[in-house]
Amino acid sequence: MTSASLAEWSNLAVYSTMLVLVGALVAFAVSFAARGRRVMVSTPVYAGSGGPEFVDHSRPLAEHGDEQPGRRAGNIAMSLTWLATGLLLLGLVLRGLWAGRVPWGNMYEFSLAWTFGILAVFLAVSLRRDIRWLGLPVIIVSILSLGLAVTVLYTEAAQLVPALRSWWLIIHVASAIICGGAFTVAAAISALYLWRDRAERRGDVTGIVASLPDAARLDTLAYRILAFAFPLWTFAVISGAIWAEYAWGRYWGWDPKETWAFITWVIYAGYLHARSTAGWRGRRAAYISLLGFVSFLINYFGVNIFVNSLHSYAGL
Amino acid sequence: MTATTDLPPAEPAAPPPLDAVGFLRWCWRQLTSMRVALILLFLLAIAAIPGSVLPQRGTDPIRVNEWIQGNPTWGPVLDRLGFFDVYAAPWFAAVYLLLFVSVIGCVLPRTRLHWRALRSAPPAAPSRLDRMPEHRSFVSDLPATDVLDAAAADLSRRRWRVARGDGWVSAEKGYWRETGNLLFHTALIALLIAVGYGALFGWRGNVIVREGSGFSDTLTQYDAWGGGRLADPAELPPFAFVLDDFRVEFERREAQRGAPRLFEADLTLWPTPGSPSEAVTVRVNEPLSIDGAKVFLVGHGYAPELRLTDALGRVVHDEGVVFLPQDGNLTSTGVLKAPDATPSIGIEGLFLPTSAVDDVRGPHSTFPEADDPAVFLSAWAGDLGLDSGVPQSVYRLDTEGMTQLGIEALRLGETWALPGGNGTVEFVGLTRWASFQIAHDPGKEPALVAAIVALAGLMMSLFIQRRRIWVRVRDDGQGATVVTVAGLARSDEADLAPDVDVVTSAITGRSPRT
């Protein structure tokens, strides 16, 4: 197989990933809507006061004898997500083979890898608990990120500038990629938490929001993911510092990328502390989690595109 | 300022007392409260932002000056407030120092408490175990003492700390969580001290070395040198080297054309005066270590060799002139000053490794490799101003008091006869130069150790769960024993069910379910 066709196969795998993700998106949406509708009917608040339309919707479901509506669509969605993640992995591997190095040497490749990180964290968590309710936001973010990658960020694979040629590229960037996936998934959960929490405080848990787990569980899940990601991010920063010492002669120089990695670290440190402080748990912690994600995005997109940084040499 | 629910920090709502001691104590309590620590954390994050948006003196002093000149209203104000040197600004230091005082104020009392907890037995079992979030009750044929023996033996074997009392066993595990937590925060303080130590005793210098020329590590040889307050320039390691060859390759294919692909500098090195020389190669990512100092390859450029013959026919200059790159294709500028020529000659030059001229950009380079090199020179005669006492940059020609002789473009090997019989300039050859950063940071290794300890402590404090298990026995009056096993998580997310199950099966003699 020639290298040109390797590149084409990689691109094909990425486009297929997007296609399958769109399928997963539809399936998750169907599953989500079905569950939301069912809950509407079964919620006592609506049982008396709801219009007949809700009852009408519930009938076919009840006749099916389906215990959990949308289950089948959810299963399909999960399978499609596994398939998409596998295809994306294939795309990354082919890209790496083509370039003869790790497939995260520029923003296009990093976006692919980040998306893979998001999907991988989502699937890893899904092995231990049912998180289909999280599928919709995760798939949407993944499609957006891949779409951005193939339209705006696409570059031909090229060799790396000398400063990037190091074992630390594998270690440092790989940990940052996994963290990126975990931060994204945690941010999605935190956003859903805020939605659910508002509904709970109003005593009005109806509609689609009722198909989410209760706020306390969302809070715990976001915490667990971030408690895993924070030490990894710490490691990413430390390994970056070691590499910077080798490449640039100083381990910390307040380069914009370093600065924003530091800011991100401080925000998530704040999250962990907030979660263990009375009055800061729950809602405020969720806002901090979202803030940390914004900081990660600024560090990734903002610094690479808008700021003159030592890290912005990898080609858009 | 630590991250568990064990000790909810007091957040005094009362107003500050009026007497001085009371007020200080109130301030201390505020500062060491989690709420204030959180606020300081976010202040630190916000305070770090301007340094990533505005150019900074430490990394890019030229752009700082441009920024200030371009913003005459805000530039000087921001400059005075330290916004162009954020990470050395007093207000930035104030935030992190307050934060670290807050950390110390929390770590010290918690260390004392933890030390006490480490040496005391777990507290007695509560009387009503069925109120615990995780509990099992069952009837055992064993006598009460045997039940407790079995439970205590099993828990001890699995390294729980066990206490026994009348009709109960109490056990606790996961003390390492708090140890890790304290370790993490202490290591962060150590990290800050290591960074400060490195800044005080460390130094760093930059030097440009042309191919074929050398460098010896003394202060006067550096183009720029900066050291901490306690760094002693007399203590520089006395090595010397000659740059024999500098190799560079650039991407020639369409994608990322012109991006560097290889930098390598071959040096002949004398580690100490009089020692035998050795051949070494310095690459990006592969610095050279000599006696506590590290030599990094940080930049490169061209040094066109210009031979200047003056009006009297004397060769007054005949070597490479360092030209500084202005863009990615190494369009470079440089200056040659010949005060000894008759008359004194100054030449400003533009060097293009692959030359091109168009209407929009004028002369410029289209590729960083010397495929088609050319120099564009502008010659001046008159007073170079070198005797004025004002320090001058070797990269800039002060043309005040000079008259322009003319301009000319030269290719390799061409000679330009300066107008007015003022001599000749010949573009003889082309060499490269490499710039090196030579740095010594004694705080580096301590900082790395502190960072690794912090990471280890962090993982301990997040992944180890502090938990308690209790077993209570009661005689049911018919020769059997009613056993209750219960568990309680003392940290956030522990799941006690497996622990309770294991103890239960140890008593009942069945194999554990998990």
Q: What is the ipTM of this complex?
A: 0.84
Quote the pLDDT of residue B52.
86
Q: In terms of pLDDT, which residue wins out, B104 or B28?
A: B104
Which residues in chain A touch residue B41, judged by CB atoms under 8 angstroms apart? 266, 269-270, 273
The class (CATH top level) of B123-174+466-508 is: alpha beta
Positions in chain A whose pLDDT score sits under 50: 1, 40-66, 313-316
What is the number of other CB atoms lying within 10 angstroms of the CB of residue A63? 8
Contacts of B287 in chain A (CB under 8 A): 246, 249
Chain A residues within 8 A of B43 when measuring between CB atoms: none
A275 at interface of B, judged by CB pairs closer than 8 A: yes
Q: How many CB pairs under 8 A join A and B?
A: 146
Find the closest chain B residue to A255 by CA distance: B52
Chain B interface includes A238 (CB < 8 A)? yes
DSSP 8-state class, residue B4: -
The first and second tokens of residue B76, run together, are 């000087």
Considering only CB atoms, A162 lies closest to which of B38, B256, B260, namely B260
Q: How far apart are CA B268 and CA B240, in angstroms?
A: 8
- Would you say A274 and A286 are in contact if contact means Cβ atoms under 8 Å apart? no
State pTM to two decimals.
0.84
**Model confidence over B70-104: pLDDT tens digits?**
888 888 999 899 899 888 889 999 999 999 999 99
Check: CB of residue A259 under 8 Å from CB of residue A307.
no
Q: Does the structure show a pLDDT above 60 at B514?
A: no
Mean pLDDT across B315-342: 89
Asked whether the beta carbons of B198 and B444 are under 8 A apart, the reply is yes
Facing residue for B52 by CB, picked from A242, A259, A280: A259
Q: Do A159 and B5 touch (CB under 8 A)?
A: no
- Listed ranges B51-55, B123-127, B167-171; the one with the highest mean pLDDT: B167-171
Nearest C-alpha in A relative to B99: A266
**Confidence class for position B511, pLDDT limits 50, 70, 90:** very low
Chain A residues in contact with B37 (beta carbon < 8 A): 273
Cα dihedral A72, A78, A81, A82 in deg (nearest 10): -120
B446: burial class by Cβ within 10 Å (0-12, 13-18, 19+)?
A: middle
First and final C-alpha spacing in chain A = 27
**Closest by Cβ to A250, choosing from B37, B255, B439:** B439
Task: Say which of A238, A242, A272 has its CB closest to residue B3.
Answer: A272
Rounded average pLDDT over B275-287: 89
Q: Lowest mean pLDDT of A76-80, B215-219, B393-397, name the range.
A: B393-397
Q: List chain A residues with CB under 8 Å of B448.
A: 238, 242, 251
Mean pLDDT lowest among A279-283, B242-246, B461-465: A279-283
As a whole number of angstroms, the distance between CA A230 and CA A288 comes to: 13
Q: Where are the alpha helices (DSSP H) in chain A?
A: 3-42, 44-49, 52-64, 71-99, 107-128, 135-148, 167-202, 215-248, 256-275, 283-297, 303-306
Q: Quick check: B462 and A230 CB within 8 A?
A: yes
Whole-number Å distance between alpha carbons of A97 and A92: 9
- Per CB-CB distance under 8 Å, the chain B contacts of A295 are 45
Mean pLDDT value of segment B368-395: 84
C-alpha to C-alpha distance for B323 and B375, rounded to whole angstroms: 10
Output the six-digit token pair for A195: 């939605």
The shortest CB-CB distance from A163 to any of B34, B285, B294 is to B285
Mean pLDDT for chain B? 86
Strands of B448-497 (E only): list them: 467-475, 481-489
pLDDT at A36: 61
Residues of B in contact with A227 (CB under 8 A): 462-463, 493
* Long-range interactions of B190-194: CB distance < 8 A, separation 24+: B190/B446, B190/B450, B190/B453, B191/B447, B191/B450, B191/B451, B191/B454, B192/B96, B192/B100, B193/B446, B194/B443, B194/B444, B194/B446, B194/B447, B194/B449, B194/B450
Q: Which of A156, A218, A248 to mutate to probe the B interface, most B CBs <10 Å?
A: A248
* B303: three-class secondary structure by DSSP: strand
Question: For B199-287, where are the E strands, in sequence order?
Answer: 203-210, 214-216, 224-227, 240-250, 260-270, 278-283
Q: Please, what is the angle between helix A283-297 and helix A256-275, to 10°?
A: 170
Which of the two residues, B317 and A101, has the higher pLDDT score? B317
Cβ-Cβ contacts under 8 Å, B491 against chain A: none
Q: CB-based contact (8 Å) between A287 and chain B?
A: no
- Contact between B458 and A234 under an 8 Å Cβ cutoff? The reply is yes
- Sheet containing B324-325: which strands, arranged edge to edge? B324-325, B332-338, B345-352, B374-382, B402-411
Residue of B204, B259, B283 with shortest CB distance to A161: B259
DSSP-based three-state secondary structure for B343 = coil
How many helices and strands, by DSSP H and E, does chain B display? 10, 23
pLDDT mean over B351-356: 91
Q: Is the Cβ–Cβ distance between B156 and B162 less than 8 Å?
A: yes
According to the model, what pLDDT value does residue A270 have? 93
Please report the residues numbered 134 through 163 in chain A whose beta carbons come closer than 8 angstroms to any beta carbon of chain B: 155-159, 161-163
With an 8 Å Cβ cutoff, are B441 and A231 in contact? no
Q: Give the 3-state secondary structure of residue A314.
A: coil
Beta-carbon separation of A260 and B52 below 8 A: yes
- Crossing angle between the packed helical segments A167-202 and A215-248, to the nearest 10 degrees: 160
CATH code 3.30.310.80 region(s) in chain B: 123-174+466-508
Contact A234 B458 (CB under 8 A): yes
Contact A161 B437 (CB under 8 A): no
Residue B343: phi and psi, rounded to 5, are -75, 175
Q: Are A175 and A46 in contact (CB under 8 A)?
A: no
Percent of chain B, pLDDT > 70? Answer: 94
Cβ neighbours of A315 in B, within 8 Å: 255-256, 259
The two three-digit tokens of residue B175, written as one number: 């003390």
Residues of B in contact with A305 (CB under 8 A): none
Kindly report the CA angle at B148 between B145 and B149, in degrees rounded to 5? 80
pLDDT higher at A259 or B133: A259
Q: Which residues of B246-265 are buried (b: 16+ CB within 10 A; e: fewer)?
A: bebebbeeeebebbbbebbb
Is A254 in contact with B283 (Cβ distance < 8 A)?
no
